[in-house]
Amino acid sequence: MVEVGHFALVLAFALALVQSIVPLVGARVGDERMMAVAGPVTMAGFALVALAFVVLMISYARSDFSLVNVWENSHSLKPMLYKITGTWGNHEGSMLLWALILTLFGSLVAVFGANLPASLRATVLAVQGWIGTAFLLFILVTSNPFVRLSPAPIEGRDLNPILQDIGLAIHPPLLYLGYVGFSVCFSFAVAALIDGRIDASWARWVRPWTLAAWAFLTGGVAMGSYWAYYELGWGGFWFWDPVENASFMPWLAGTALLHSAIVMEKRSALKIWTLLLAILTFSLSLLGTFLVRSGVLTSVHAFATDPSRGIFILCILVVFIGGSLALFALRSSTLTAGGIFHPISREGALVLNNLFLTTATATVFVGTLYPLAVEALWGEKISVGEPFFNLTFGPVMVPLLLAVPFGPLLAWKRGDAFAAAQRLMTAFAGAFLAVLVTLLFVDRTAVLASLGVGLSAWLVLGALTDLALKAGFGSVPFSTMLRRLVGLPRSMFGTALAHLGLGLTTLGIVGVMAFETENILAMKPGQTAEISGHVLRFDGIQPVQGPNYTESRARFALLGAGGQVAGEIVSSKRFYPVRQMPTTEAGIRTMGLSQLYVSIGDETSDGSLVVRIWWKPLVTLIWGGALAMMLGGVVSLFDRRLRVGAPSRRQRGLPRGTETVTS
Amino acid sequence: MDAMLFWVIAAFLTLGASLAVLLPLSGRKPVGEADGSHEIEVYRDQLSELERDTERGLIKPAEAEQARAEIARRILKADKADSRSGSNALSDSKAMGVFRMAAVLVVPLLSWGIYAFVGSPALPSQPLSARLEKNPADSTVDELVARAEAHLAANPDDARGWDVLAPIYSRMGRYQEAVTAYRNAIRLDGASAARESGVGEAIAAAAGGMITADAQAAFARALELEPGQPKAGFFLASALAQEGKIEEAIAAWQAMMMTLPPDSAWRNAVADAITEGRTRLADVAKEPAPGPTQQDIDAASAMSPEDRAAMIETMVASLDDKLRQNPRDLEGWTRLVKSYQILGRTDAARDALKRGIDVFGKDSAEARQLAQLSNALGVKATE
Amino acid sequence: MTRKQKRLSIIGGALGFLGFAAALTFYALGQKASYFYMPADLASATLEPGQRIRLGGLVEKGSIVRDGGTEVAFSVTDTENSVKVAYTGILPDLFREEQGVITEGSFGADGVFRADSVLAKHDETYMPREVADGLKEKGLWQQETQ
């Protein structure tokens, strides 16, 4: 029943419209019944979009080529996993996934927000409704996945082979959970501006949403990076490509938001700034969607782009970003700042963090959009690549990374930098040792790289120091320390884990950038190649028939010290006949934290094969560290202190008001 | 039935969605709570958290005291704000009543309105497996072929399956696949005259009617297996004609006429070929006959496939036009039907045949002749 | 220092940092942004030796030469002018004759463009946007089927 899904989508749009207006009017005139509409309508909207999504997914699973979308992006011979993930492996389906996650988050606010002030809850859900209305309209008008085809073709055109990978099952949903998760923060911010008030409960609410969205986005960005690393066969993990930057900017801004929300919750300070960051973060998420979907920037990752749709998203972008910023300009003066603090304090450290992170976001923003501006203004085409970002993003991030271990050690309101530095002596000594070891035993010329290793060690040890000190290491008996460690609030573990992960990621990046070795050569069967002490023997090519592709599999034997075979690496080229497209499947062997990466090219006329081999030391730490950061976010999310108790009923009977402006 | 079910489900969904708006609007007015109470709750939570941290020794007593004082200040502030709140009477106005009604009505009206515009309620879902399993009589040719392909993908050693599929491919104009199918059947079950001549015919069709060396070899093998097989003989003779050896071709055809049984479907085709050959011999200088002549096809085979298809299509179309204005032309009809058949447009061939027969009258000699030719080609006037 | 002075010095520090970042960004844009050229643009362009640029166009038919090892030479053309390109390594999956490519690198003394990266996106209908725009300007663009 394909049309049921189509109808559900249309109905969801009608409900989103109601959700956008009725609760907001209710909150303005103080009508409880109108405000109460928000919850059920949001949940019904989610149920309907979910129904539409499931129907589309079933159509993919059953190869129903009477849908244009299925016909264009699926094939009956495709393995079932890729039929299902193919649902969002195309523009229309991915926008439906976007809408599904948006309505999901709306419903979660409706369910868990039962104890929010009624008018705040109604306004937040109404703002969610605006976003939902805009995107559902976008889907219905320009990107409807339920457009039918009659008579239905008997076979589809298949999914882009690059996307026929497990990565498609994980990366886009995680990324969208992150992108769209920030919509909740945005809605809270806009609601606060409309209400003209912002209080402690607001901050308590925004923090878990920011944490959840941030954790998902961290996972999504990391997963996307790993996917590109192994699927493109170029051996790179980050290309500073516009599409990557599009997901990186909200991550940077979201990280800043996460930290400023802490200050706001604990100290009622930085209110207006936090509000602005919430708006900016979601704006950058929208911008990311626009950049990826419109194809205005040349990217190696952009699939199924369409400029006419880009204009629609651009309109959404302008209305939401422009509108919210205008609202901010108009109303932020009605909010009062609070909480005074000394510059050397936890708050001060977090402000510093925000300064660096937003500056870093700005450099990425400039680097990403500058070519677009140049082309629009002067008609010249330029490209901004890695050298630019190395020169700008690097210098901004390094001082931030240096400062990270200090933050958690400073007290609120007024801290003691000297005492913190004293307590970090061990970590500093460890980092210094790491620099020395790298210089003496790895490479005597790699000064910058050894400093990078030292920086990573500083971050990791700093995070561990923080935990050890909080548990009372050195001042209490060991058993007491353990007990205190277990009793520490989870958010402290989350902080330490995230900072530790940051150190690990840094170490991985330094390892690959400084110590990676690479060898390009033409090999004949039986020949061996050596890279960083590892010897590979090329054992020849075999043809293999896959379910919907043919494959040339090149086998390599990894030889041990005595010449015996210690392992095997298979690298292959696939050819997908339906799309007439070849793909590269890199051969990767993980050895400890490092990887041997083998990518094959064409066979030359004399029967040898062009092979490119990389030795990538510590490369897995890049994504391992990101996973640790994500885990830190999750641990922090489950901190018991984030729950807001329901107001006790004893206080009922007080007249309630909506026009209140508190300070 | 499917469509009926859809409307019922759509109606239920609409009802549910409308109730999501209607029920809260018509519900009992909930008891209001002061917003301030939420805020105080947060602060109370912070206070108890502070106590826990102090107990655990995470915060020094002096810091805890400071923090406690600050939270207390905020609680006082929130209390003050609370007492300033007032109620609003606007919510009970008449305009609001109209607004509420509109909010409820907008759901069904907007959704059915938009759906009427964008939806295709009459189209049932068509999962591939169901399409391949339904009664063959209801299936399109494409579906039948896909079903056969699916069967053969699962049982690639079924020679009979390939035998069935091969001529269908040929008729659909998928000549390359027809060649492969015939060859599969030969590989699995050995060569037969019918299979070999099928290979030859498909190769020739793929080459735009040109009987290539490959095709000739296949026909030759067919004749070895079954001397006097009419299809192979006919095409080999045509190959001679294509090479310009028209006299030899006519001789070969005439020899065929001797051996063909009197009821053979090939007699007409051969007779036709002989006539055409003679005409070509007689008036080479004359204006070439309309429709794709052998020379045209030869020229076409040197072109790219697209150009060739386009050229043949235009020639066939002009012949078709000419016959509409000038219908009493048996030879024209014969050529038209044949051309459509070569192009793989079976429907058009059938249509042309029917029109031709109608022109001459069902029982006329010409109509019978047309019908016989068509039988030989595998086209029937009615299905 | 009084409280006001302290606050001013902090704000000053923050502004100084932002100014530093902005200056760095502008410097980097001037130095590190690489310009995009089609073969026809090169005649009028003044390039310093070793200057990094992006060169885009179509892979000229019949121009791909492999030396039997890892070196590949080909020509990038806009159908009027063409430029020889040398590259060492593995060409992207969809690198084909008469398909759009973008190469990045610099010109050697011999007038051959030494590319250190070759991009041909992983989508069969792909034409790098810069290349497509360039061809459109020259009136050579034809919408590919599909």
Radius of gyration of chain A (CA): 27
Q: Chains C, A in contact: 3+ Cβ pairs under 8 A? A: yes
CB contact under 8 A, B123 and A201: no
The residue ranking higher by pLDDT, C138 or A501, is A501
Q: Residue B175: its pLDDT value, please?
A: 83
Can you give the pLDDT at residue B137? 64
Measured between CB atoms, does B33 come within 8 Å of chain A?
yes
Tokens standing for residue A7: 């109808």
Task: Encode pLDDT of A36-80 as tens digits.
Answer: 999 999 999 999 999 999 999 999 999 999 999 999 889 888 899
pLDDT greater than 60 at residue A624: yes
Chains A and C form CB pairs within 8 A to the count of: 123
- Whether residues B119 and A6 touch (CB distance < 8 A) is answered with yes
Chain A positions touching C124 (Cβ under 8 A) are 579-581
Overall average pLDDT of the A468-477 stretch = 81
pLDDT in tens, B338-355: 777 777 777 777 888 888
Q: Which CATH architecture has domain C35-145?
A: Beta Barrel (2.40)
| Confidence tier at B310 by pLDDT (50, 70, 90) | low
pTM of the model: 0.78
Chosen for mutation from A17, A25, A29, A92 (greatest number of chain B CBs closer than 10 Å) is: A29
Residue B367 has pLDDT above 60, yes or no: yes
Q: For the segment A65-119, what is each residue's pLDDT rounded down to a tens digit? A: 999 999 988 988 889 999 999 999 888 999 999 999 999 999 999 998 877 888 8
Is residue B342 within 8 Å of B205, Cβ to Cβ?
yes
Span of A173-177, A638-642, C93-97 with lowest mean pLDDT: A638-642
Q: CA of A572, closest CA in chain C: separation in Å?
A: 12
Q: Which two tokens stand for residue B195?
A: 């299979």
Could C130 and A381 be called an inter-chain contact, meaning their C-beta atoms sit closer than 8 Å?
yes
- The answer to whether the Cβ–Cβ distance between A645 and B41 falls below 8 Å is yes
> Smallest Cα–Cα separation from A140: which of B12, B119, B6?
B119
Taking 50 as the threshold, does the pLDDT of residue A581 lie above it?
yes
Across the interface, do B119 and A3 touch by the CB < 8 Å criterion? yes
Domain boundaries, chain A: 1-164, 166-415, 424-515+620-645+656-661, 517-616
Between B193 and B301, residue with greater pLDDT: B193
Highest mean pLDDT among A651-655, B32-36, C100-104: C100-104
Question: What band does A645 get if pLDDT is binned at 50, 70 and 90?
Answer: very low
**Of A323, A328, A316, A322, the residue nearest A275 (C-alpha):** A328
C6, C37, C97, C123: which to substitute to probe chain A, counting the most A Cβ within 10 Å? C123
Residue A91 in contact with partner chain C when CB distance is under 8 A: no
B72-96 per-position pLDDT tens digit: 877 777 766 554 444 455 556 778 8
Q: Which residue of B has its CA nearest to A121?
A: B35
Dump pLDDT digits (tens) for B5-20: 899 999 999 999 999 9
Residue A333 has pLDDT above 90, yes or no: no
Mean predicted confidence (pLDDT) in A467-489: 81
> How far, in whole angstroms, is CA A603 from its chain's centroid?
39
Q: Average pLDDT of chain A?
A: 86
Torsion of Cα atoms, C84 then C86 then C92 then C93, to 10°: 70
CA atoms within 13 A on the CB side of B367: 11
User: Could you say which residues from 575 to 614 on chain A have a Cβ atom under 8 Å away from some Cβ of chain C?
Assistant: 579-584, 599-602, 604-606, 608, 610, 612
Would you state the pLDDT for residue A561? Answer: 80
Res. A578 pLDDT band, cuts 50 70 90: confident
- Residue B299's pLDDT band (cuts 50, 70, 90): low
pLDDT at A211 over 70: yes
Q: How far apart are CA B238 and CA B253, in angstroms?
A: 9
Alpha-carbon span B265 to B258, nearest angstrom? 14
Q: What is the DSSP string of B288-331?
A: PPSS--HHHHHHHHTS-HHHHHHHHHHHHHHHHHHHHHS---HH
Percent of chain B surpassing pLDDT 90: 7
pLDDT at A146: 94
pLDDT at A298: 57
Q: Is the pLDDT of residue B379 over 70?
A: no
Give the dihedral sign, CA B113/B119/B121/B122: positive
> Is the dihedral angle over the CA atoms C107, C108, C112, C113 positive or is it negative?
negative
A295 contacts in chain C (CB < 8 Å) = 129
Average pLDDT over residues B299-316: 62
Q: Does A377 touch chain C (CB under 8 A)?
A: no
Mutation target to probe the C interface, by most C beta carbons within 10 A, among A391, A393, A519, A575 is A391
Most confident of A612-616, B133-137, B272-276: A612-616
Per-residue confidence (pLDDT) for residue A95, from 0 to 100: 92
Q: What is the pLDDT of residues B48-78, one digit of tens each?
A: 877 877 777 666 677 778 778 877 877 777 7
B8/B166 Cα distance (integer angstroms): 46
Given a cut of 70, whether residue A642 has pLDDT beyond it is no
Tell whether A10 is within 8 A of chain C (Cβ). Answer: no
Predicted local confidence at residue A647, as pLDDT: 34
- The DSSP bridge partners found for residue C58 are C77, C100
Q: Is the pLDDT of residue A337 over 80?
A: no
CB half-sphere exposure, B214, CA atoms < 13 A: 13
d(CA C127, CA C121): 8
Averaged pLDDT, A156-179: 89
Give the per-residue pLDDT at A296. 64
Cβ of A391 and C24 within 8 Å?
A: yes
Assess contact for A341 and A282: CB atoms under 8 A. no
Q: What are phi and psi of B209, to 5 degrees?
A: 95, -10
Please list every residue in chain B whose beta carbon sits closer than 8 Å to the beta carbon of residue A647.
Answer: 33, 37-38, 40-41
Looking at mean pLDDT, say which of A192-201, A547-556, B169-178, B267-276 comes out highest.
A547-556
Q: Looking at the predicted structure, is the pLDDT value of residue B307 above 70?
A: no
Whether the CA torsion A162, A164, A165, A168 is positive or negative: it is positive
Chains C and B touching, counted as 3 or more CB pairs less than 8 Å apart: no
Which of chain B's residues have a Cβ under 8 Å away from the Cβ of A154?
128, 131, 142-143, 145-146
Q: Angle at the Cα of C69 (from C66 to C73), degrees rounded to 5? A: 30
Q: What is the DSSP letter of C93?
A: T
Question: Can you tell me the distance from the alpha carbon of C123 to that of A159, in angstroms, rounded to the nearest whole number?
Answer: 11
Q: What's the mean pLDDT when you consider all of chain B? A: 76
Strand order in the sheet with A550-559: A528-531, A534-545, A550-559, A565-576, A581-585
Prior bond of A151 cis (ω within 30°): yes
**Percentage of the residues of chain A whose pLDDT score is greater than 70:** 93
Instruction: Kindly list the averaged pLDDT for each block of 10 residues, start to end, along chain C of length 146.
Output: 72 86 85 77 74 82 79 84 86 78 84 83 52 59 39
C-alpha distance from residue C145 to each of A323, B33, C126 (Å):
41, 64, 12
Please tell me the distance in Å from A543's CA to the nearest CA on chain B.
19
What is the spatial distance between Cα A539 and Cα A555, in angstroms, rounded to a whole number? 5
A576: left (phi over 0), alpha (psi -120 to 50) or beta: beta
Task: Kindly determine whether residue C68 and residue A601, on different chains, have CB atoms separated by under 8 Å.
Answer: no
CA distance A87 to A56: 7
Give the per-residue pLDDT at A293: 75
- Cβ contact (<8 Å) for B17 and A48? yes
